[in-house]
Amino acid sequence: MTILLNKKTKVCVQGITGGAGAFHTRRMIEGGTNIVAGVTPGKGGTFFDEKIPVFDTVVDAKKETGADVSVIFVPAAFAADSIMDAAYSGIELVVCITEGIPAVDMIAVRSFIEQKGTKLIGPNCPGIIAPTVSQSIGIIPHNIAMSGRVGVISRSGTLTYEAIHQLTELGVGQSTCIGIGGDPIGGMDFVDCLKLFNEDADTDAVIMIGEIGGSAEEKAAEYIKSNMDKPIVSFIAGISAPPGKRMGHAGAIISGGKGTATAKIEALKNANVAIAKTPAVIGKTLVEHAKIKTFYKVDC
């Protein structure tokens, strides 16, 4: 019914006592997310909002509460260590919202989490939401989502919200929606997510939102062409961006003639992916391309 999350998912919030961590923890709880612990070094033994235990390390939080997912709201200077703290504890999935983490720090993180077998979403991302099981981990507003059978993957946080909202307004529910972030060195990419959606019997179609820079979209097109027969719609942001200019995310830069929106769109078209011409018609393009009849809201 969903990927990565389920009704039994237990969430630990790293940075729960900070301003952003506290605000979004309360929002996640409002949406039904099962938050069982918080982590703030030096504040172990206290409670957040008098009910959620706070620990000094993720190792302690996992041992005492059984948390299996961690979401990170700590400053950039400490975020890499926070990711590795979670991976060291045996946490299965880490969602890092923090932006501005130095690339050199993320190189070390990538090596460490690969050794530990931990999945990472982000950094510099809005997180993941699975409306079917009422689990929202990160900053995606739970009130714009609706349970259903369409998956969403996006490098852009804002366009993640836009795609979800458009689908909901059209009466088309979502299975799982993932904002993977746009940094040049991160965790899960399009192919990682597409593989999971391809294997999920309860996801019938996918929206994939990319942008200029890098080769993630071209790699996704290769995977789709060889492995997927589910309807896929894509929008690529930055078609008017001049070469050499960074647009938005740190990874969104055209260099050496590579990473252009035009090249990405052509690769996706060759993989039978329908292209939305503007952000305003992402949902409509999915409905038309997938000939939606059965992807509407589902009750679970």
> Which is the catalytic residue, given 24, 142, 165, 249?
249
Q: How many CB atoms lie within 10 A of CB 104?
A: 9
Phi and psi, residue 153, nearest 5°: -130, 135
Distance CA 297, CA 300 (A): 10
CB 213 within 8 A of CB 251: yes
* E strand residue ranges, 25-79: 35-39, 47-48, 52-55, 69-72
- Return the SS3 of 39: strand
In the residue annotation, 249 being an active-site residue is answered as: yes
How many Cα atoms occupy the beta-carbon half-sphere of 77 within 13 Å? 0
Produce one character per residue of 228-254: b if its CB has 16 or more CB atoms within 10 Å, e if not: bebbbbbbbbbeebeeeeebbbbbbbb
Give the span between the Cα atoms of 163 and 209, in whole angstroms: 9
Residue 290 · residue 205 · CB < 8 Å: yes
The CA distances from residue 145 to 18, 271, 283, 293, in Å, are 26, 28, 13, 19
Q: Which residues of 118-128 are buried (b: 16+ CB within 10 A; e: fewer)?
A: bbbbbbbbbbb
Distance CA(268)–CA(13), nearest Å, equals 37
Which residues are annotated as catalytic?
A: 249
